[in-house]
Structure 1
Amino acid sequence: MPQLPSPIRHLPWATATVTRILITAFEPYERWKENSSWLALVDLTSWYDGALEISTRRYPVDLPKLRELLEADLARDYDFAIHLGQSPGSAVIKLESVGLNLRTNGEPLLVDAPTAYRSTLDLEGCLQRLTGAGIPAQISHHAGTYLCNAALFLSQHYGEMMGRRTQSLFIHLPLTPGQVAADESALASMSTPMQSAAIALVAQHLAQSDS
């Protein structure tokens, strides 16, 4: 099993009402030897010392395992679940607003489940926080039909079915310059420090909006 970043604990002076957030990323897949989502999450754990209580996970690129691990994680009843994935070719951070009950083969992820879930989170506020900090970002209305979409839909569905308070968000991140260089391509990229800063800004905004 890969070494995971240690969970980030809230500061000693934080109150009992501290916001608890699960942040997940994916392992490398196909031709990508690294995953920008994981790189950003590892970087975040190296410097963040704010008042949020953050737990971290790295998920496999495998739908049955993703389902199992995600359902178990959401049983911990976090306030928020922020799922991260990389989006090769994207030049901006994308805040996904809709999780679809759809797989790449056209079949549903879950039978007898809603067609889609639309986020009720303040994505516009998150966007303003990012762009105000000089971080390119946009709200996206389609997370695809691969595991990134599956993570968002299943997170939304499990939270709903379990009666949890967890609200879920998926963030697509660009590739890093190092990934693009290793790929010998001209795809868009964004530095890992900028990506990890974006994750922290979104997490802080969600916590403040919920208080």
Structure 2
Amino acid sequence: MTRILLTAFEPYDRWKDNSSWLALIDFTSWYDGSHDITTRRYPVDLPKLRQQLREDLAANYDFAIHLGQAPGASLIKLEAVGLNMRTNGEPLLVDAPAAYRTSLDLIACQERLLAAGIPTSVSHHAGTYLCNAALYMSLHYSHEMGRRTESLFVHLPLTPAQVVSDGSSHASMSTPMESAAIALIVEQLAEAPSH
């Protein structure tokens, strides 16, 4: 049985909801696959995120799939690289590599989502906010602790309701489509030859 850590973020700043958490909740309401999935909602706080990630990754999952919202994004973005950099230019972790690249086949994940009619791209820069921090630290801690966990980060667009509440013209994607994307990613990773 494939063991998967699936995480999302809490609301922050002006956003009363977080599309990543809404998608995770929706996913758990209908997904009935055979995989062992543990879910977490992470705080938008770097020290707390760092601590919770280390504790969770100690459990040695097969995969860690981290979700976050990306206001303005028009499609799902599969992030390939995590940078050891904060928004202010300082490193997330001292005496650690400058970057990590996920070893997972993001192209195969992208193709599976596109085949299902879900707009998706592979991105090579997760920014310098907590989404990037989650990817970088997940990859680093797994390596540092000698765990088998392979990690990726998935950026999700805002939901239509979030756009309306914000009074903006941001692109959006429905929560059911986003939760379907999560399921397709889970299945793609679990079916990969090495697992």
- TM value normalised by structure 1: 0.91
SS at 2:7's partner residue? strand
- TM value normalised by structure 2: 0.99
Question: How far off its partner does 1:90 sit?
Answer: 0.3
SS at 1:145's partner residue? coil
SS at 2:188's partner residue? helix
Q: 2:89 aligns with which of 106, 131, 151?
A: 106
Q: Distance in 1 between matches of 2:102 and 2:61?
A: 16
Percent identical residues:
71
Deviations 1:173-195 (A, max 9, x none): 00000000111111100000000
Structure 1 unaligned residues grouped into runs of 5+: 1-17
Residue in 2 aligned with 1:39? 22
Structure 2 unaligned residues grouped into runs of 5+: none
Q: 2:68 aligns with which of 82, 85, 90?
A: 85
Displaced runs of 4 or more, over 3 A: none
Superposition CA RMSD, Å: 0.5
Q: Does 1:133 align with 2:116?
A: yes
Aligned pairs, how many? 194
Residue in 1 aligned with 2:143? 160
**Match runs of 1:1-211 below 5 Å:** 18-209=1-192, 210-211=194-195
Deviations 1:124-157 (A, max 9, x none): 0000000000000000000000000000000000
Q: What is the identity, as a one-letter code, of the residue corresponding to 1:111?
A: V
Q: Distance in 1 between matches of 2:17 and 2:26?
A: 14
Question: How far off its partner does 1:66 sit?
Answer: 0.2
Question: How far off its partner does 1:108 sit?
Answer: 0.4
